[in-house]
Amino acid sequence: ASNDKFIQDIPKVELHVHIEGTLTLDLRWKLTQRNGATLRLVPNGPEITARDDLYAAMDSIMPDASRMNNEEERDMFFESYLEGFNALQVKEDFYDLAMNYFETVAAMNVRYCEPFFDPQGHTSRGVQLETMMEGFRQAQREAKEKFNVRSQWIMCFLRDLSPASAMEHYKAALPYRDMIVGIGLDSCEPGRPPSLFEDVFALARRDGFKLTAHCDVDQEDTDDHILQVASTMGVGGSDRIDHGLNSAEDPALIDLLLKRDIGMTLCPWSYMRHTTYADLGPRIRTLFDAGVKVCMNSDDPAFMEDTWILHNVLLARHLCNFNDEDIVVLAKNAVQVSWADQSVKDAIL
Ligand code: HPA
Ligand code: ZN
């Protein structure tokens, strides 16, 4: 079996992390104080006025990482995630957010990453696209110099909002296309199939962006969403699928993923919110053994008890009994399905 040091030391690529989901309570407190803003953990919840109260309050909202078993818990997660956005107001806040992420994962040997951001969660609060992009840009530059962590951004659309809003944000972000490698789809999934967003994905595809979309685990329409993302998104299908674990139960979907060479970003700690060890290991194992290019990622580390990419690789090993060779395969999968330039890929593993 693999030891922890082997997993710590192996060069890593992270492809599924919401930058707003990396907002730790420490940083959230700091930014809120700096901005003279109000800190709540859920909309209309009690205002947190003492730093020491923050951790207990968070614990009472999310006592453990296993809280997405029903609609109510899922809504609670998204509400608390979006509430965190309020801490982010000026360029320096976005810079600090991204720098904190880059520095944290540099210590875990991440060499390259493609973080998501949710522009609609900021513009809806009156924060300009320029504010977030310039903060991200500065952090991206400095992370490369200081930490040897390279990055490109993925702009995600909130699928519970309208396709028109997605299109509007897509067009508004084009001046920042040198920073943005791909377009994604996230937020609450039931009843919001990728096909609703076909126009914006087709346009992005034509403009040269890579495409991905969340097909979260054990949602009502997941299998249909996986099929859409793999076969028709942006007309020709996506390059990657985020989550997509339910394909493990469908040999035809597995065949399609293999035939089209679609990468899959898995986030095992995230699934502990609504599934069990016994359920999870075999499904990851099935995809891995079939040769689907799966890789391990953190999703929303600050909202999942501080489980970052390292902890997700460790959990995957535990769930699937992966040995050193398997861990190398996972790391290589991440490099291969990343959207880095070949020269960057060649330098990682
Ligand atoms: N699921 C879907 N969308 C998200 C999540 C998640 O866990 N976190 C941030 N956006
Ligand atoms: Zn996600």
Which residue's alpha carbon is at the smallest distance from atom 1 of ligand 1?
A: 187
Question: Tens of pLDDT along 207-223?
Answer: 999 999 999 998 889 99
Domain positions in the chain are 4-348
Beta strand 110-113 pairing with 150-151: parallel
Res. 335: pLDDT tops 90: yes
For the chain, the average pLDDT equals 95
What average pLDDT does range 290-316 have in this prediction?
97
CA of 184 to the centre of ligand 2 (A): 10
- How far is residue 149's CA from residue 105's CA, in Å, rounded to a whole number? 9
What phi and psi, each to the nearest 5 degrees, are found at residue 117? -135, 155
Which whole-number Å values give the CA distances from 237 to 105, 170, 226, in the listed order?
30, 19, 10
Asked if residue 83 has pLDDT above 90, the reply is yes
Rounded-to-integer distance, Cα 269 and Cα 296, Å = 10
Q: What is the mean pLDDT of residues 287-303?
A: 97
d(CA 303, CA 264): 22
Q: Is the CB of 67 under 6 A from ligand 1?
A: no
Residue 1: pLDDT band with limits 50, 70, 90: low
- Ligand 1 nearest atom to the CA of residue 156, by list position: 10
pTM (predicted TM-score): 0.98
Of 231 and 274, the one with more pLDDT:
231
Amino acid 336 reads Q
Q: Is the CB of 16 under 6 A from ligand 1?
A: no
Q: For residue 63, what pLDDT is reported?
A: 64
Edge-first strand order for the sheet with 180-186 is: 116-117, 153-158, 180-186, 210-211
- Among 241, 274, 299, 305, the mutation site with the greatest number of ligand 1 atoms within 8 A of its Cβ is 299
* Cα–chain center distance at 202: 22
Tokens 């209309």 locate to 44
Q: pLDDT category, 278, cuts 50, 70, 90?
A: confident
Token pair recorded at residue 271? 């699934």
Stretch 71-97: mean pLDDT: 94
pLDDT, tens digit, for every residue of 158-176? 999 999 999 999 999 999 9
C-alpha 261: how far from its chain's center?
A: 20
Quick check: CB of 20 below 6 Å from ligand 1? no
Sheet of 263-266: strand order equals: 214-215, 240-243, 263-266, 294-296
13 within 8 A of 111, measured Cβ to Cβ: yes
Q: Which CATH number describes the domain made up of 4-348?
A: 3.20.20.140
What are 102-159's pLDDT values in tens digits? 999 999 999 999 999 999 999 999 999 999 999 999 999 999 999 999 999 999 999 9
For 119: left if phi > 0, alpha if psi spans -120 to 50, otherwise beta; the answer is alpha
What separation in Å is there between the alpha carbon of 208 and the centre of ligand 2?
23
The highest-confidence range among 46-55, 56-65, 288-297, by mean pLDDT, is: 288-297
In this predicted structure, what is the pLDDT of residue 64? Answer: 61
Q: Is the ipTM of this complex over 0.90?
A: yes
The pLDDT value given to residue 275: 83
Contact 139, 105 (CB under 8 A): no
- Which tops the pLDDT comparison, 206 or 304? 206
Q: Whose CA is nearest to atom 3 of ligand 1?
A: 187
Residue 67: the pLDDT is 63
SS3 label, residue 286? helix
Determine if ligand 1 sits within 6 Å of the CB of residue 84: no
Band of pLDDT at residue 272, cut at 50, 70 and 90 = confident
Give me the phi and psi of 66, to 5 degrees please.
-110, 45
Within 61-127, strands assigned E span 110-113, 116-117
CA–CA distance, 66 with 54 (Å, rounded to integer):
20
Structure tokens at 323: 């040995």
